[in-house]
Chain A
Amino acid sequence: MPHPRVRTTKLLTRMPRMNRSLPVMDQRGFGETLRRDKWWIANIFVVTVLSSFLAYATWAALQNAFYTHGPYLSPFYSPELFGASPHAWFGPKPSWWPGFIPFSPALIILPVPALFRFTCYYYRGAYYKAFWADPPACSVGEPRKTYLGENSFPLIMQNVHRYALFFSFIFLIFLWHDAYLALWFTDANGVERFGVGVGTIVMFANVSMLSGYTLGCHSMRHLVGGLLDRLSTSPVRKLAYDCSSACNRGHMNWAWVSLFGVALTDVYIRLCAMGVLTDLRII
C-alpha cells in the first residue's frame, strides 16, 4: 500500500538523464518539512528589517528637511547634487525638475545604493527566500511547481550588479569625504576648527561599515582579481583580492550592520537637526 504522501512517476518524463526505472520522492507541499528548528525566524527577520528600512528610507528621502546638522550630512542625501543646504554641489532645486515629482536631493542619488543592495548576491538569496519562498528555507517545500531562476527575464537583469557596484563605490568615496568634513566645526566667529562630536563618530562608523560591505562585494572580489587564474603574477591585484575576500567572508554581517548603520546615522542627524538631540562634542 503506497504511503499517501508519495506520488511516484509523474516527474520522470522530465529527467531523461535520470534512472527512469526508479521513481523519485514527491515534491513537498508549501512549507512542508521534517525540520524541527524554527527555520521561519530568519525569514521574519528579513521581511521585517527590509520592509521597515524601505519604508523609513522612502519617508526620509521625501522629507527634504532635517538632513544636515552642522558639518553632518545624512547618508541618504549624500552626495547632495542639488539642494537647499550648504552641502549642495550645484545649488538649489534645478529648474528642469519635473513639477509632478516632489523634489528631494535624496531622490536623485538613492536609486544607486538601492540597486546595489537589490542586486547584491547575499540579499538576493535572502529575499528570494523571505519574500518569494523560493525556497522558503533549505529543504522546506515550495509553493510553486515552475521555476525560471536567474536564467531568464526578469531575474537575469540581476547581472547588472557590477554596474551598481561601480557607482556605489564612487558614492563611498563621497561618504568618506563627508565623514572627514564632520571633523570640522564652524565656531561662533565663522572659523572652521577641528573637532569630534558624537555625530562624527556615527558618520565614521557608518562609512566604515559601508566600506566593509562594498569592498567585500562578490563583484568587487571578481573584478579586483577573481577573474584571473594566475593571481601570483599580479601582486597588487592579489593583495586586493585577498583584502576583498577577507571582507567577503563576513558579507552577510556587513550587509546587515551597514543597513542598520545608514538608517541610524540618518536618524541621529535628523534628531539633532530637529533639536530633539544635542550633539555632544568630545573634542
Chain B
Amino acid sequence: MTAHTFKVWRGERGTGAFQDYSTDITEGMVVLDAMHQIQAENANDLAIRWNCKAGKCGSCSAEVNGHPKLMCMTRMDELPAHEPVTVEPMRAFPHVRDLVTDVSWNYEQKKRIKKFKPRAPDAPDGTWRMMQADVDRVQEFRKCIECFLCQDVCHVLRDHHKHDEFVGPRHLVYTAALEMHPLDIEDRLGDLKDEHAIGYCNITKCCTTVCPEHIAITDNAIIPLKERVVDSFYDPVVKLVRLLRAKRT
C-alpha cells in the first residue's frame, strides 16, 4: 500500500482549479477506485459520473494525465508512480461540476442522422437475408459504448468548437454503421458533406487512439465515408460513369 497524490479538478460551470488529494493505492486499483476513495475520505462532495466500473457504460470519461480515458479502465500501475496524477473533466463539452460534463449535445446530434431504411424484404414473409461477410464490417462499429472520448479528443470540437457544424467521430462511426449496412438504402452522403461536415476531419487519428473499444474509427469509418463523399461529389470520372450508366438504363 502506497500513498499517491492526485490533482483533481474541482469547480463548477467552467470555473475551478486543481486540488491536491492523497490516498493509499493498493494492487489492482484503477483511477475510478482512487476517486471514490478520495470522495469517501477527503471530499464527500466530489462529483463523478460512473456506472458499470467495467468499461462498458462509457460514463466515467475524463482526462487522466492529459489523456482522455475511462477512469474505470485506467489502472494505477500504468501511471508514473512518483508523480501526481491529474484528473480533469472532458474539455469538449459544457462543464457541470468537478469531473462531470454535459454530453447531451451528442444525443441531439445523433437525432440529426438519417435513420436506418431497409430495402424491400427479400422473402414473402417480410424478412431479409444477409451474408455474415457483409455484416462483419459494420459489426465493429456497434462496439461503440458512447463514452465520447473520441469527441473529446477531436481537435475540431475540443479546440475549434465546431459543434454547430461538425458531428464528430462518434457520429461518423454511427453513420458508417448505417451507410455500410447491407440492407440500408438511405443516402446520407449529401448530409455527410454539408450538414455533418466530414471534410473538417483532418485524419489526426486521435479518435482511434483513445477509443476504449479499439474501433479503427479513422481507417474503417471516417476515411471510407470520405471516399464515398468523393465518389458522389468530387470525382468527375465517377460522375461521368454514373451519368452514362443512367442514360443506358
- A-side residues, CB < 8 A to B, are 2-3, 6, 8-9, 11, 14-19, 21-28, 33-36, 121-122, 124-125, 128-129, 134-135, 138-139, 141-142, 145-147, 149-152, 155-156, 159, 162, 218-219, 221-222, 226-227, 229-232, 238, 248-249, 251
Contacts and interface: CB of A to CB of B under 8 A. Distances in A.
| Closest 10 pairs (CB-CB, A-B) | A151-B199, A34-B66, A22-B94, A23-B14, A35-B66, A138-B206, A232-B131, A222-B227, A149-B200, A125-B203
Contact of A219 (B86, B158, B219, B227): B227
A27 B92 CA distance: 9
A149 B17 CA distance: 32
Interface in B66-103: 66-68, 80, 83, 86, 88-89, 91-96, 102
A150 B199 contact: yes
B134 interface: yes
Contacts of B16: 2-3, 6
Q: Is the interface of A mostly helix, strand, loop or mixed?
A: loop
Contacts of B204: 125, 128-129, 135, 138
Given A36-B65, A162-B235, A24 B202 contact: no
Contact of B96 (A11, A22, A226, A229): A22
B103 to A, nearest CB: 10
Given A8-B13, A125-B204, A125-B205, A149 B153 contact: no
B92 A24 contact: yes
18 contacts: A8-B13, A14-B164, A16-B164, A18-B93, A18-B94, A18-B105, A19-B102, A19-B105, A27-B161, A125-B203, A138-B153, A138-B206, A142-B160, A149-B199, A149-B202, A227-B227, A229-B182, A231-B137
Contacts of A21: 94
A230 B210 contact: no
Given A149-B202, A232-B133, A24 B235 contact: no
A268 B138 CA distance: 46
Given A22-B102, A121-B223, A226-B224, A17 B108 contact: yes
Contacts of B88: 34
B176 to A, nearest CB: 11
Query: Number of contact residues on B: which range applies?
Result: 35 or more
Interface of B: 11, 13-17, 63, 65-68, 80, 83, 86, 88-89, 91-96, 102, 104-105, 108-109, 131, 133-134, 137, 153, 155-156, 158-164, 179-182, 184, 197, 199-206, 209-210, 218-219, 223-224, 227-228, 230-231, 234-235
A135 B231 CA distance: 28
B132 to A, nearest CB: 8
A229 B227 CA distance: 14
A22 B13 contact: yes
B227 A24 contact: no
A152 B102 CA distance: 31
A139 B204 CA distance: 11
Contact of B161 (A11, A22, A28, A218): A11
A12 to B, nearest CB: 8
B239 to A, nearest CB: 13
A142 B93 contact: no
Contacts of B80: 36
Contacts of A150: 199-202
B131 A125 contact: no
A45 B30 CA distance: 33
A232 B134 contact: yes
A142 B158 CA distance: 10
B93 to A, nearest CB: 7
Contacts of B104: 19
